Chains A and B, each alone.
Chain A
Amino acid sequence: MASLKDIKRKVTAVQKTKQITRAMNMVAASKFKSAQMKMDNFRPYASKFMDVLNSLALRVETMSHPLLAIRDPRRIRVICMTSDRGLCGGFNTNLIKATERFIKEKIKDGKEVSLIAVGRKGRDFFRKKANIIAQKTDVLSKFDMTLAVSVADEVIPSFVKEEYDELYLIYNQFMNVSVQKPTIVRLFPLPSIGQDADVDPDRFLDYAYEPSAEALLERLLPMYVHVLVYRALLETSAGENGARMAAMDNATSNCEELISSLTLKMNKARQAAITAELMDIVGGTEALAKG
């Protein structure tokens, strides 16, 4: 049996760990709150933008834009969006697994795959395993639309230049605090817009366009990419902090459990020590009385 002193030391250590996990839980909670606020603030922009984009797409007969060009998908590019920091449960592991599976499948089909890593965890994992052509790390703690724009600037010119044929975005979709779903969406060529959207076809009937509806749509498409990337970034950020909150909450309660079982052990050890001491004294007294 471990000595009293050892157990005591262990209890203090676990208590300290508990303090840390509790603090991390609270930090993650406040970050989660601000991430959620950001999502709420983005909603009016996104819905207004989609509204206009969809109804514009309905007005334009045929769209021809470099971002809509369908080519034989031989070279594939993947954006893998993870968090920068760990200690958030299975958040990154699940996403990285999904990405790895996806890449393996594509390679098995004889495609060429290159990777853009957003977030340090993904970059670290794929550093030796995949062909990373661009990376954005340590950016997620504080970001705005400029980050989405810089990611888009990374992928749009090279797609137009036909350096690759298809682009996929893999990120964790935010379902709720404890559930994040790895999701794969195709960014380029952009899926057709306005087909399944629920829009009022007469909404822009009496409008004049400046420039023409076609030209306007063309200008809005890169912005659409920004919207998609920004939304994924927001979901990643909210998901990361939600996952960390849950993980740290778990860790804190595990610490509590450990502390209570260790305390019980410690009390037993102390009691045993006292009993042993008493036995000694009794034995000693008896020996003295006999002598």
Chain B
Amino acid sequence: MADELMLEIVSPEKMVFSGKIEEVTIPGTEGEFGVLRGHEAFLSSVDIGELNFLKEGKKTLYAVNTGYAEVTSDKVTVLIETAERSDHIDKERALKAKDNAETRLSQLTKEDVEYELARAALARAIARISVAEKQ
């Protein structure tokens, strides 16, 4: 099919996904962006959030961590540190992580270097919960 796009999602543990898809939506640091075949070539960093793609009309969701995406006209490579498919997420754990991060965050001020870490942990937990709920 002419409008197919090759997608590769690579994490340190494994090749998370590799295959032909129709469309992918990636949570870039400058905002979410969708990619179809024929997109201009570019490189973007990926933020914590939700990545989804359409394959044969079916949507698959992943909660992803920081990384980057390399887009060419017929191929998208996403490199991220973690990626969890929506049906593999342990929602209990995510909720607990969110509580932890919130308490930690409340004890820190913006000047603390740890503030960023706690904020990132919170964002991760929220992304996982929202992905888990959508599935």
Contacts and interface: CB of A to CB of B under 8 A. Distances in A.
A204 B114 contact: no
A164 to B, nearest CB: 13
6 contacts: A45-B12, A48-B10, A48-B79, A145-B82, A157-B114, A161-B113
A220 interface: yes
A281 interface: no
Contact of B79 (A38, A41, A45): A45
Contacts of A145: 11-13, 81-82
Given A49-B79, A157-B113, A230-B12, A211 B30 contact: yes
The secondary-structure label for the interface of chain B is: mixed
A210 interface: yes
B4 to A, nearest CB: 22
Contact of A216 (B45, B79, B81): B45
| Residue of A161, A219, A227 with most chain B CB atoms under a 10 A cut-off | A219
| Residue of A38, A45, A46, A227 with most chain B CB atoms under a 10 A cut-off | A45
B113 A204 contact: no
B68 A144 contact: no
A210 B30 contact: yes
B42 A209 contact: yes
A146 B43 contact: no
A41 B10 CA distance: 10
Interface residues of A, number: 34
Given A145-B81, A210-B30, A219-B45, 15 more contacts: A45-B10, A46-B12, A52-B70, A145-B82, A204-B43, A207-B41, A208-B42, A209-B43, A211-B29, A211-B44, A216-B45, A216-B68, A220-B68, A223-B67, A227-B12
Interface in B35-55: 40-45
A211 B45 contact: yes
Contacts of A125: none
A130 to B, nearest CB: 24
Contact of B15 (A38, A44, A208, A220): A44
B14 A223 contact: no
B90 to A, nearest CB: 14
The secondary-structure label for the interface of chain A is: helix
Interface of A: 38, 41-42, 44-46, 48-49, 52, 56, 144-146, 149, 153, 157-158, 160-161, 204, 206-211, 215-216, 219-220, 223, 226-227, 230
Given A157-B113, A161-B113, A216 B13 contact: no
Interface string B1-44: 00000000011111100000000000011100000000011111
| Residue of A41, A46, A146, A158 with most chain B CB atoms under a 10 A cut-off | A41
Contact of A149 (B11, B68, B81): B81
A151 B29 CA distance: 24
A144 B79 contact: no
B51 to A, nearest CB: 16
Contacts of B117: 153, 157
A208 B41 contact: yes
